[in-house]
Amino acid sequence: HAVLLHLKRGSSYVLELVNQTSWHHPIHLHGHVFRVLANGQWADSVLLDPDGRSEIAFVADNPGDWMLHCHVLEHQSTGMMALVRVA
C-alpha cells in the first residue's frame, strides 16, 4: 500500500478525516492513540458519519509504517487503507 503520510517522529499532528460518502466509516490508526478534538476522548478509532468529518490529534512517537484504514472489510478491500510512516 502507498504511504499516505510521512510524519516526523516526536512531532505533534492534527489530522482532519473527511467522509464524502453516504456510509459510516470506523477509521482506525494502528500504533498510536489520538485525541478526538470534538469530544476530548482518547481513542485509536473514530466513527465518521456519512458526509461527516473529525479532527484527531496525536504525537507521532512510534516509529514504523502504520495502517490507517476503515474497519469495514469490504471498504478496506476497495481501497480505504493506507500507510502512515513515522520516522
- pLDDT tens by residue, 50-72: 999 999 999 999 999 999 999 88
pLDDT category of residue 78 using cuts at 50, 70 and 90: confident
Nearest to 62 by CA among 40, 33, 83: 33
- The three-class DSSP label of residue 83 is strand
Residue 74 phi/psi, 5-degree rounding, is: -65, -35
Q: What global pTM score does this model have? A: 0.90
Measure the CA–CA gap between 43 and 58, rounded to whole angstroms. Answer: 10
